[in-house]
Structure 1
Amino acid sequence: MGGGPAVWRSGGVGWSGGSAGLRWWGGRVSPVGYGLPLAFRAVGGRACAGARSNACPVGAAVPARSTGGLCPDCARLDRAHSVAADTFADDPRPYRVYLAWFGAGTVKVGITGEHRGDARLREQGAVAFCWLGRGPLMAARRTEEVLRQALGVPDRVSYERKRALRVGLPDAGARAAEIEELYGRALGVGGWGDTLEALPCTAYDHGELFGLGALPPLDGTVTELVEGGVVTGRVLAAAGPDLHLRDPGGRHLVLDGRLLGGWGLERCGPDDAWSVPVGGAPATGGQEGLF
């Protein structure tokens, strides 16, 4: 995981070609394999990754618990050029509206650029999903809001809830049935079909891709990396930015890959003791939407 005197700085966890990998500044990717060991030490402090493929002009430090991995100035620049900021209303490219399923009774509606395919769904850890419609950006944005209100589903699901729901998932058939039921309800909502092309219902499933067969109860989540802190264990699964690990003590822990961004990481041995802070496991209660 690196070599020579230079520190390899992490770009977090990403998805490419249908598999998860550890990204590095400069573009390299180290594949993540389920059942294989993962062992590294955080070194060299945590630095801002910069925005829009540009280096941070001041090389700012980033707080260890930040999931953004950017200093405030770079975060503002990055946000200003995002689809969510609605700053490119005249974008001529087509967009798609989707339903993303994260666990029983927990579905969100969202949009993504058609040119990105289903990358956005992998990045946010959607266990299953279906497309609803396609069309111009602002029509897709309006449809997203109309359906969110009409169906009583949220526009976001917290990562804490997603992690809790991955343990004890219903089977793929039940996941597809829930997606198909909500798709049918969405088609019954008037208005949006006038501005978007409705797409046929096909339920796609990421359960096998993510390695979510039968995860054991979750024992905790990493809260931050620290200078010299060690993460070591075997990879059980990966979903969105999250790596599910079995540590040497037998605990099932989640490492949010967004916490890695900007840290220098160096290889350590499997016998090195785990030494980064771990918080409690998320609770499964507390429905976030009406659905």
Structure 2
Amino acid sequence: MTWWCTGIRWTDGRPAIGWYGDGRGERVSELAYGQRIAFAARGERHCLGVRRAGKRTPCPTADTVPGRAGNAQCPECARLDRSFSVAADTNAADPRTYRVYLAWFGPGMVKVGITAEERGSARLLEQGAVAWAWLGRGPLMATRRTEELLRAALGVPDRIAYARKRGVRAHLPAATDRAREVAELHARAAALAGWPESLERVECEVADHAGAFGLDSLPGLPGPARVLTEMVSGGSVVGRLAGAAGPDLHLADGLVVDTRLLAGWELTAPGDEAVTSVPTAPIPSASATPAEQGGLF
């Protein structure tokens, strides 16, 4: 029985690696900071099909997926996935309560987004938000209108590239400084006119994910220097897990493993003498990555 990796999963604020077995459902392997991790890819990378309402439908053609693709889906499954998606605005009738959030990833790196209230902070963990706060809650379309209002009025981008987030994680300001910046941005956002009447405002209460991500240990280790760019059949990753944020695993030697690139592979235990032998690329340093976000507040 083959178990295919589905990438990182954040459950109760802790990271785990997800697995899918056709006919056997899904399971996870919990991760602990400080543990040794070692795995090798075998065979070909396969499409993981479509996951909806907690259930996964296998790809009907069992297509293969390019190793460098950020999404382990074939074009047809990706199209089907987006045909009923809140993110793609193709599921506007979703009756659930949604929340608008303010997410902070580093100095000058802020975005506004929405997530289903029942998911709690899972979306913030998945994106790698270091600090964050709720802005409001209400029906889907009200939160979507609020999201667009804040983006347009404040110049907040739709997304922040993972490369920028990785470049600053080992050099973040103190928790008190992070909280102060988020609180100031929350106040400025709340002062804007034009919020939908059906949206309930939420008072500022800043949360911080540094502990969940293991970021407190990163300053004493080599800064993130290289990132996995592709898994290849027979390629191995070996190292000690120092932290995790969003889809990224931070190893103690400075390698960052983007677990989106693990999804769709069968991963096996390498030999005792195995070393990391997969394609990687340098991560731009924080000084080489623009810190300011044009037009923000």
Q: TM-score range by the shorter chain?
A: over 0.9
Matched, 1:161 2:157: no
* Deviation (angstroms), 1:167: 1.6
Describe how 1:236-251 pairs up with structure 2 within 5 A: 236-246=242-252, 251=253
CA distance in 1, matches of 2:238, 2:192: 49
Shift of 1:231: 0.4
Show the 5 A alignment for 1:256-267. 256-267=258-269
Measured against aligned partners, the alpha-carbon deviations of 1:237-287 in whole angstroms (never above 9, x if no partner) come to 0011100013xxxx3011101001110100124531211011011343234
Report the Cα distance in structure 2 between the residues aligned to 1:241 and 1:77, rounded to whole angstroms. 23
Counterpart in the other structure of 2:295: 290
Alignment-derived partner of residue 279 in structure 1: 281
Partner of 1:12: 7
Task: Give the corresponding residue for 1:63.
Answer: 66
Stretch of structure 1 that moved more, 187-196 or 57-66: 187-196
Kindly report which structure 2 residues correspond to 1:97-112, keeping only aligned pairs within 5 A, or say none. Answer: 97-112=100-115
Q: CA deviation at 1:290?
A: 2.4
Q: CA deviation at 1:194?
A: 2.2
Unaligned runs of 5+ in 1: 1-5
**Residues of 1 paired with 2:256 and 2:264: CA distance?**
19
User: Do residues 143 (structure 1) and 146 (structure 2) align?
Assistant: yes
The answer to whether the 8 Å contact 2:35/2:240 transfers is yes
- Counterpart of 1:21 (choices 16, 21, 30) is 16
Contact 2:217 2:242 survives alignment (8 Å) = no
Q: Distance in 1 between matches of 2:72 and 2:224?
A: 25
Deviation of 1:149 after TM superposition, in Å, equals 1.6
Q: Name the % identity.
A: 54
Aligned partner of 1:221 among 224, 227, 247: 227
1:233 touches 1:270 (CA, 8 Å); kept in 2? no
State the TM-score, normalized to the length of structure 1.
0.94
In 1, Cα distance between the equivalents of 2:4 and 2:254?
Answer: 26
Structure 1 segments of 4 or more deviating over 6 A?
A: none
TM-score, normalisation: structure 2: 0.92
Superposition RMSD in Å:
1.3
One-letter amino acid matched to 2:135: L
Task: Quote how far apart the aligned CAs of 1:21 are.
Answer: 0.5
Q: Matched residue of 2:224: which SS?
A: coil
What is residue 42 of structure 2 aligned with on the other side? 43
Aligned residues: 282
Q: Is the 8 A contact 1:222 1:256 kept in 2?
A: yes
Pick from 110, 113, 121: which aligns with 1:118? 121
CA deviation vs aligned residue, 1:84-142 (integer Å, no higher than 9, x gap): 12122222211110000000111100000111111111111111100000111111111
Give the gaps of 5 or more residues in structure 2: none
